[in-house]
């Protein structure tokens, strides 16, 4: 169950799906309404010529509980650094939310999957802040150029 939550937030699933604009990668760890919601979000950004570069700075699993043989819950505290970028790798906005998430998991024939997540913002914001005029270093947006679309 813990591994399912970690996989749902892993670079190979979450980060790559957002960076590539490819929601099919989410199916490795997500299912049901959560999969549908995040898949549509990725497609909406992609339709506008945008990609997200989302980097987990920390992910602490606070609690995992088995509800019954096929259902579980997990609670995490997570810190993220997110960039919204054009498909050409140009930065358009940034944010750094620190959240506490409550996951609902279900056992499927393929293993545990995240079926739902409730997100509570602890600090930071879900709103995109403009990019500063002068950046001293390259932004993570260059990563979208490595995507296979």
What CATH number is attached to the domain comprising 96?
Answer: 3.10.450.240
Residues spanned by the domain of 63: 2-146
7-58 tens-digit pLDDT: 999 999 999 999 999 999 999 999 999 999 999 999 999 999 999 999 999 9
- Dmax over CA atoms of the chain, in Å, equals 54
Count of domains in the chain?
1
Q: 89 φ, ψ to 5°?
A: 85, 15
Residue-by-residue DSSP string for 56-71: EEEEEEEEEEEEETTE
Long-range contacts of 62-65 (CB under 8 A, 24+ apart): 62/100, 64/1, 64/2, 64/5
**Alpha-carbon distance 103 to 117, whole Å?**
4
**Alpha-carbon distance 128 to 118, whole Å?**
20
44-83 tens-digit pLDDT: 999 999 999 999 999 999 999 999 999 999 999 999 999 9
């Amino acid at each position: 169950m813990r591994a399912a939550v970690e996989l749902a937030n892993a670079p190979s699933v979450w980060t790559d799906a957002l960076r590539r604009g490819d929601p099919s990668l989410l199916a490795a760890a997500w299912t049901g309404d959560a999969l549908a919601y995040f898949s549509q979000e990725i497609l909406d950004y992609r339709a506008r010529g945008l990609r997200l570069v989302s980097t987990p700075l920390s992910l602490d699993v606070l609690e995992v509980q088995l509800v019954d043989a096929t259902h579980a819950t997990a609670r995490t505290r997570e810190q993220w650094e997110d960039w919204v970028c054009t498909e050409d790798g140009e930065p358009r906005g940034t944010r750094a939310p620190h959240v506490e998430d409550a996951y609902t998991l279900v056992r499927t024939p393929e293993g545990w999957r995240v079926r739902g997540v409730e997100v509570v913002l602890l600090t930071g914001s879900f709103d995109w802040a403009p990019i500063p005029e002068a950046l001293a270093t390259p932004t993570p947006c260059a990563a979208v150029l490595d995507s296979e679309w």
